[in-house]
Structure 1
Amino acid sequence: MSDRALSTPLDDSFERYLQDKGKGRGGDGGNYRRNAARELERFAEWVAGDRGDDDWAGIVPNDVDRDPTFDDLDERVFREYARYLAGDRGLKQNTVQTYYRYISAWCGWCVNEGYLEAHYAQRASAMAPLPEDDGRKPGDQQAWTSEQRHALTRHVDEQARDVVEAYTTLPEDTDSLDKQRARYAALKAARDRALVFVLAYTAVRVGELLRDPNDPRRRGVRWEDLSLDDGSMDVYRKKQQWDAASLPDPVISPLRSFRQLMDPPTERWPVFPTFDQRTLAELVREELGERGERSEAITECRNEYARDLLLALDEDIRPPSITTDGARSILQRLSETAEIDIDHPKHDYLAPHGGRRGMGEVLVRAFGYTVAARYLDNSEEMVRERYSHIEAGELGDVATEALSEIDG
C-alpha cells in the first residue's frame, strides 16, 4: 500500500466509485448511484465530525488540521459508524443494515482500487453493533416475484441476443483481435443468461450449482452432468449425495445456446466457468508451463488472444467454475443494469436464494406442498414451515368466506 494512497482524502475516491456504479454515459445515472452518494455524504460528514454532535469530533486526531484520509481508517472506525447508525432512533433496524451496506460496498471497492489494504467494514468486530434482522420469519425472506423474475430474465435474454448477434454478424475482414473481443462479450452475456435462467426456474441451491472453495466435492456442474434432451441435471445435493434435478423448458434454450457458442473442448468443462482475468491468466501460465512451454513463448501465445479464456478454450485448459460469491456479484450487476424495483430489508439486488424461494412460492400455490417438496428437494414438513405464510393467507381467505356467509 503506497503512502500516496493512504494519504488520499476519502472524498477524492467518491466520484470515481459513483461513476463505476452509475448508469448511462459517464456513470451519472441510476438509483444505486443516487442512494450511494447520499450515504457517502453522510459518512463523510460523520468522519469529519460535521454531523452536529458535540461529543464527536471525527476520526482525525484533534491536534491535526486536515481532511480525513484513508490512513485514518481501520475496523474500529467502521465499528463506530455502525454504532452511530444503530443509535439513530429514527432509523428502522433493517434500514440501518441497508445504509451500512452502501459504505461497506465502497470500502470493498477501495480495496480493489488500492486505497485500502483490507475490507475493514466486513470484519466481524466492525459489524457487531449492527442490529439483527428483526427476527424475520422465513416467509419474509427474499423471494423473486413473478414481475422480478420476468424483468431479470427478459433483460439478460435481450442483452445476450444483442451481443451474440453483433458477434455472429461481423464482417469477414474484421480484425482478429476485434473478433475475439466480440466473441468474449457474447460468451459472457450468454453465460450470464444461462445462469439467471437456471437460478430462476430450477430452484436448485446455488451451492449445488457452483463451486465452493471450501468443499472440493462442490466443484460446480459440468456439461457431463447435464442432459438437455432429457431435461435433467446431476447435482451434489445438500444431503451429501448426487441426485437428479429437473431442467424445465425455459432453461433449455439458454443452456443450449451457450454451449453451442462456447463449444467446450470436453464434457468436463464447467457449465459456468469463471471469467476472472487474474484467475485465468495464472491458470494459463501454469498449465502451459507444465506442458513445457518457455516463459517467452507463453507470453507470445497469450498476446495472440484478446482474453485468456479464449486461449484456454483452444488449448483445453479447463477453468474453474464461478463460485457462489461470484454468482452474487453477477446478480448484483445484472439487477442494477436491469433497474429492477427491489424493496427488501436485507438485499438491494435479486439474490440467488431468492430465485429458489420464488419458485417455491409458485409451486406451493399451484400444486401444493407435496409436489413443491419434491421439486425443492426438501421434506414436506420443512416446506410447510418455510412457506407457512401461504397457508396462513389461504386460511384467512377461508375465514373471510365463512364470515361473509354467516353475516350475509
Structure 2
Amino acid sequence: MPDRALSTPLEDSFERYLQDKGKGRGGDGGNYRRNAARELERFAEWTAGDRGNDDWTGIVPDDVDREPNFDDLDERVFREYARHLGGDRGLKQNTVQTYYRYISAWCGWCVNEGYLEAHYAQRASAMAPLPEDDGRKPGDQQAWTSEQRHALTRHVDERARDAVEAYTTLSQDTDPLDKQRARYAALKAARDRALVFVLAYTAVRVGELLRDPNDPRRRGVRWEDLSLDDGSMDVYRKKQQWDAASLPDPVISPLRSYRQLMDPPTERWPVFPTFDQRTLAGLVREELAERGERPEAITERREEYARDLLLALDGDIRPPSITTDGARSILQRLSKEGEVDIVHPKHDYLAPHGGRRGMGEVLVRAFGYTVAARYLDNSEEMVRERYSHIEAGELGDVATEALDEVDHLGK
C-alpha cells in the first residue's frame, strides 16, 4: 500500500465517504449520511484523545505531534473503540451495535478505496467487546392500540368540527381580521385532523408523507399526489421509488373537507404545509420582493391578513411541508390535549411510527402476514419478524386448546 494512503489523516476521507453514501444530487442528503457523519465525528474525536476517560490520549503515539492517520489503525484500535462504546455511557446494547456499524461500514469503504489493507473493524478480536444485540430496534416498539387510536382520532375530529363550525357560522358583519383568525384556526385544526387520520389508518411511513430536510427528494405529499376518488396517494417509498399507497375510507372525509376549506391555489401545494409563523413570514417577504413589491407595500399587504398563511393562499406563495420532526411536535401536543392514556418506556405521546405499527397489528390479526406485508410495503419475512409476537400468541392459544383437549380425553 502506498505510504501516501497510510499517512492520510482519517478525517480527509470522511467527505468522500459521506458523498458516496448520501442521497440526492451530490450525495448531500439522507438520514444515513447525517447519522454516519455524527458517528465519524465522534470516532475522530476519540482517536485524537478528546473522548474517553481521563487516561485516554488517543491512538497517535505520545511522542508524535500530528493528526490520527490510517497508519495508526489496526484491529486493536477498533477493539478499544468497541470497548469505549460499550463502556459506562449508558447506551443500550443495540445502540452500541448500531454506532459501531457506522464505523465498520466506513472501514470497509476505506479498504475498497485503498486507504487500508484490511477490514480491521470486522475482525473477531475487534468486535469481541461489543455487547450482544438483543434484536430490538431502539424506540421502534410503540404501536397505537385501538383505544389510543380512537381516543386521538376522536379528539382531533371534535376539535376540527368545532373550529370549522365556529368559522362557518360567523355573522356577515364580523370584522374581517376576526373572520380570518377563525379561518386560520379551522385550517389548522383540519390539517391536524387529516394528518392524524392518515398516520393512524394508512400505515404510510412519516418520512414518505412529509418533508425530510436531509433528503431533497422527500418534499412532502402534494395535492397532485392524492386521488380521493380512487382512494390512493403517490408517495416516495423507502425503496427509493414512487408507489401508490391506499387511502382507506376513514381518511377520505377528513382529507376532502380539509381540501375544501383550504382551497389550494394549485395542485402543487403541500397537503400538510407548515404553519410556523417565522417560516411563513420570511417566505412571504422574500416571494413578494422577488415579484417586485417594495418593502413598504409588503408590510401594508401583510397587515391586511391575520396570518401569513392566508396571504400565501391568496397570493399562491407555496409554503414547505411540515417536517417529520414537526409531525412529532404536533402529535405531542395533540396527545396531551386529548389526554390519551400512554404507557411507554420512551414515548410519552403517540409517535408517528406507532400509527404504522398499530395498523400492522390490525392487519396481521385480521388478514395474515401476506396481506399486511403488501399494505405495509414490506417483505412478508420482515413483517413476520416484526410481528412475531402475534404468531407466538396464536400458537400459545393452539397449545392451550390442545392441552384442554388432552385433559378432557384423559378424564
Shared fold by TM > 0.5? yes
User: Following TM superposition, by how much is the alpha carbon of 1:346 offset from its aligned partner in structure 2, in angstroms?
Assistant: 1.0
SS for the counterpart of 2:139 is helix
Structure 1 stretches of 4+ moved >6 Å: 1-135, 137-140
Query: Which shows bigger deviation, 30-39 or 382-391?
Result: 30-39
Contact 2:94 2:136 in 1 (8 A): no
Deviation larger for 123-132 or 178-187: 123-132
Distance 1:44 1:247, change over 3 A: same
**Alpha-carbon shift at residue 159 of structure 1 (Å):** 0.3
Q: Corresponding residue for 2:79?
A: 79
- Quick check: 97-106 or 365-374, which moved more? 97-106
Specify every segment of 5 or more residues in structure 1 that has no aligned partner in the other structure, as ranges: none
**Post-superposition offset of 1:405:** 1.1
**1:337–1:228 CA distance, 2 compared to 1 (3 A):** same
| Matched-pair contact (CA < 8 Å) for 1:139–1:388 | no
The answer as to whether partners of 1:187 and 1:261 remain within 8 angstroms in 2 is yes
Q: Does the 8 A contact of 1:23 with 1:337 survive in 2?
A: no
Question: Does structure 1 conserve the Cα–Cα contact (< 8 Å) formed by 2:140 and 2:353?
Answer: no
Could you tell me whether the CA contact under 8 Å between 2:94 and 2:138 is conserved in 1?
Answer: no
Deviation (angstroms), 1:406: 1.1
Q: If the length of structure 1 is used for normalisation, what is the TM-score?
A: 0.68
Q: Write out aligned runs for 1:7-406 (5 A).
A: 136=136, 141-406=141-406
Aligned length: 407
User: How much does 1:300 deviate?
Assistant: 0.6
Q: How big is each residue's C-alpha offset from its partner over 1:4-48, in whole Å with a ceiling of 9 and x where there is no partner?
A: 999999999999999999999999999999999999999999999
- Please report how far the alpha carbon of residue 265 of structure 1 lies from its aligned counterpart in structure 2 after TM superposition: 0.1
For residue 331 of structure 1, report the CA deviation from its aligned partner.
0.2
Which range moves more in the overlay, 275-284 or 124-133? Answer: 124-133
TM-score by length of 2: 0.68
Cα offsets for 1:123-152 (capped at 9, x unmatched) = 999999999998647998100000000000
1: CA distance, partners of 2:382 / 2:330? 29
Q: Name which one, 1 or 2, has greater alpha-carbon Rg.
A: 2
Whether the aligned pair in 2 keeps the contact of 1:199 and 1:206 (CA below 8 Å) is: yes
Identical positions, percent: 93
Change in Cα spacing, 1:87 to 1:246, as seen in structure 2 (3 Å) is: same
The question of whether the paired residues in 1 share the 8 Å contact of 2:312 and 2:319 is answered with: yes
Asked whether the 8 Å contact 2:18–2:37 carries over to 1, the reply is yes
**Structure 2, gaps ≥5 residues long:** none
Spell out, residue by residue over 1:147-179, the C-alpha distance to the aligned partner (whole angstroms, 9 max, x if none): 000000000000000011000000100001100
Cα distance in 2 between the residues matched to 1:294 and 1:118: 63
**What SS does the aligned partner of 1:212 have?**
coil
Specify whether residues 99 and 136 from structure 1 end up closer, same or farther in structure 2 by C-alpha distance, changes over 3 A only.
closer
Counterparts in 2 of 1:377 and 1:223: CA distance versus 1, 3 Å: same
Cα deviation, residue 116, structure 1: 43
Q: What is the distance in 2 between the residues matched to 1:329 and 1:120?
A: 42
Task: Label 1:74 to 1:152 Cα distance change in 2 as closer, same or farther (>3 A).
Answer: farther
Aligned equivalents of 2:144 and 2:245: distance in 1? 20
* Alpha carbons of structure 1 residues 79 and 390: separation in structure 2 relative to 1, 3 Å: same
How far the C-alpha of 1:399 sits from its partner, in A, is 0.8
Alignment deviations for residues 176-220 of structure 1 (CA, whole Å, 9 cap, x no partner): 110000000000000000000000000000000000111111000
